[in-house]
């Protein structure tokens, strides 16, 4: 087993790419938005893609990156409405519900901790119905910092009372695992199969999984592996 569950009280889980298929987000920002942006501005799709790529890059590692209101203003498009047009692509990764049930059965605190904007969170929780599985849900927009900053993880403790030494973080971002590691979160798991359309590559720095069932004891051994 990669994880000894007896050493963990709290599980922090990222949303996009970690619990949900990032194909939705990649398709939305790299295909759907450029298509609508090109039509609105009467420019070729290729040109739209290039200029949007530069705009997106300029806001990397900031909260603007995931702020739907910011992008609605900046691009002159109704971004929440455009998300609804492709919401059929929102999907939960295989084995996620079973993993969340396993954590609940064993009394772990389960927190969804995401950079996603409140409007994205609402849409995705409505569509996937994952909300009730969590002890709580935290958006970085409420914390005021993105997970890409080490200070995020300290500020998070004001909302989530966790002991970094007894906490696991699951992420599809090595950057975010890196800031969590610097802060002192002990158990770090990289989700390499963040999108159903990519060929997964393991992290060179962190324990990597394709699916969360890899963190569950084989059936029938639960009682032996876990203290009550």
- Closest CB to Mg ion among 133 and 194? 194
CB of 116 to Mg ion, least distance (A): 9
DSSP 31: I
- Give least dist CB 16 to Mg ion, A: 4
Query: What is the chain's alpha carbon radius of gyration, rounded to the nearest angstrom?
Result: 18
Report whether 38 contacts 210 (CB < 8 A). no
In three-state secondary structure terms, 121 is helix
Name the segment binding Mg ion (CB under 5 A); options: 69-77, 78-86, 169-177, 217-225: 169-177
Angle between helices 45-58 and 33-41 in degrees, nearest 10:
120
Tokens 């087993």 belong to which residue? Answer: 1
Please tell me whether residue 146 binds Mg ion under the rule CB under 5 A: no
Which residues ranging from 4 to 43 are in contact with Mg ion (CB under 5 A)?
14, 16-17
CB of 176 to Mg ion, least distance (A): 7
SS3 134: coil
What residue number has its CB nearest to Mg ion?
17
Using CB under 5 A, count the residues that bind Mg ion: 4
Distance in Å, CB of 28 to Mg ion, minimum = 14
Identity of the residue, 109 or 114, whose beta carbon is nearer to Mg ion in the bound complex: 114
Burial class (CB in 10 A: 0-12, 13-18, 19+), 23: middle
Could you tell me which of 212, 193, 13 has the C-alpha nearest to residue 116?
13
- Segment interacting with Mg ion, rule: CB under 5 A, options 73-81, 125-133, 167-175, 184-192: 167-175
Which of 11, 172, 180, 190 binds Mg ion (CB under 5 A)? It is 172
Cβ 41 vs Cβ 14: under 8 Å = no
In angstroms, give the least distance from the CB of 214 to Mg ion.
18
Q: Per the structure block, which two tokens stand in for 209?
A: 């999984």
Q: For residues 167 and 195, which CB has a smaller minimum distance to Mg ion in the complex? A: 195
> Closest CB to Mg ion among 5 and 190?
190
Beta carbon of residue 9, minimum distance to Mg ion (angstroms, whole number): 23
Does the CA dihedral 153-159-161-162 come out positive or negative?
Answer: negative
CB 11, CB 110: distance < 8 Å: yes
113 versus 216: smaller Cβ distance to Mg ion: 113
Residue closer to Mg ion by CB (options 167, 176) is 176
Q: How far is the CB of 115 from Mg ion (least distance, A)?
A: 7
User: How many C-beta neighbours within 10 Å does residue 129 have?
Assistant: 11
Contacting positions for Mg ion (CB under 5 A): 14, 16-17, 172
């Amino acid at each position: 087993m990669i994880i000894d569950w007896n050493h963990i009280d709290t599980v922090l889980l990222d949303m996009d790419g970690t619990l949900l298929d990032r194909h939705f987000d990649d398709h939305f920002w790299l295909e759907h938005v450029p298509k609508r942006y090109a039509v609105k501005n009467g420019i070729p799709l290729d040109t739209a893609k290039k200029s949007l790529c530069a705009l997106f890059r300029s806001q990397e590692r900031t909260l603007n990156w995931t702020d739907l209101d910011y992008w609605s203003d900046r691009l002159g498009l109704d971004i929440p409405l455009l998300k609804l047009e492709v919401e059929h692509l929102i999907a939960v990764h295989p084995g996620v519900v079973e993993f969340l049930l396993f954590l609940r059965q064993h009394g772990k605190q389960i927190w969804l901790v995401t950079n996603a904007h409140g409007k994205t969170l609402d849409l995705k929780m409505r569509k996937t119905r994952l909300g009730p599985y969590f002890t709580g849900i935290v958006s970085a927009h409420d914390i005021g910092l993105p997970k890409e900053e080490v200070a995020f993880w300290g500020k998070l403790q004001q909302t989530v009372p966790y002991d970094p030494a007894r906490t696991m973080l699951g992420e599809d971002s090595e950057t975010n695992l890196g800031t969590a590691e610097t802060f002192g979160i002990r158990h770090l798991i990289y989700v390499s199969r963040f999108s159903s359309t990519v060929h997964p590559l393991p992290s060179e720095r962190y324990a990597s999984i394709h699916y969360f069932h890899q963190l569950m004891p084989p059936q029938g051994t639960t009682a032996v592996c876990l203290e009550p």
